[in-house]
Copies of this chain bind each other. A is one copy, B any other.
Amino acid sequence: MDLKKNLITLTTDFGTKDYFSGAMKGVILGLNQDARIIDISHEVPSHDIWAAAYMLGAAYEYFPQFTIHLVVVDPGVGSQRRPVLAVTDRHYFIAPDNGVLSFVYADPGFSKVIHLTASHYFREGIGSTFNARDVFAPAAAWLSKGVEAENFGEEITDYVRFNIPCSRKENGAVAGEIVYIDKFGNAISNIKSSDIEELCAEGAQCGIEVGQLALSGVSPFYSALKKGEAGAVINGGGFVEIFVCQGDARKTYGFKRGDKIFIRKL
């Protein structure tokens, strides 16, 4: 396979009701007509940097080498917050320096962050509200045309990075939290299947507590339960996920991001 650098993904909070993503795509294609643009999502909740970081983190690894990921959730647009380009051994990431790349910085292949300062790669007459069109999209287009990462600016080391909450052992239990809730209302925790291997080994039953809900054991798959029943499952990312079979766990139990979850031996 002839690997090319012409694949550009988009993750934004611009929604699909306006012309914002359309204008970005136009700018990219105007500079590199051979660019191929893939929408990851334009429905990140408005200004929710954490959600964008999580969603990018859950999707980017599947893309081929040299893919360029453009991520724009940018409440500080127009201010002094810096536009950056992050590089791993497989991918490029272009985004505002506000923490949205935190999961990328935790990638074992992560190598460096460049402050985008080479303004000849931006559009002329940059406004203060639409850097996605004026700064990020053109930088991605030039990168996809073969401009080297180093040419976009100076390396920096003081980039903004969130503390990614980890699960921990606490009085014999594994304690974690809900880090993402998806459109089905499934509540995804930061407890990995490997964290609870001992607790829930063959034959052993483990108890799962999250808010008012107490569950025993992990279901092998969603439809092992009856419609409307709540359960836990190891999801596609390898994390414990709370669900309601063909229902909506968020609506039923009022889960929200940050809710604590405990798993212990019964």
Q: Which residues of A contact B (CB under 8 A)?
A: 1-4, 7, 9, 11, 14-23, 25-27, 29-30, 32-33, 37-44, 46-47, 54-56, 58-64, 67, 75-79, 127-130, 133-134, 182-184, 220-224, 233-238, 241, 246
Contacts and interface: CB of A to CB of B under 8 A. Distances in A.
Contact of A129 (B7, B26, B133, B233): B233
Contact of A9 (B22, B67, B182): B22
A193 B133 CA distance: 19
A63 B129 contact: no
B61 A26 contact: yes
A246 B79 CA distance: 14
A233 B128 contact: yes
A33 B223 contact: no
B241 A64 contact: no
29 contacts: A1-B32, A1-B33, A7-B29, A15-B43, A15-B183, A17-B41, A19-B40, A19-B55, A19-B58, A22-B39, A22-B40, A23-B62, A25-B38, A26-B62, A26-B63, A27-B62, A29-B67, A30-B64, A37-B38, A46-B184, A75-B223, A76-B221, A76-B222, A78-B223, A78-B224, A127-B234, A127-B237, A129-B221, A129-B233
A36 B215 CA distance: 43
A220 B128 contact: yes
A261 to B, nearest CB: 17
Contacts of A3: 33
Nearest to A17: B43
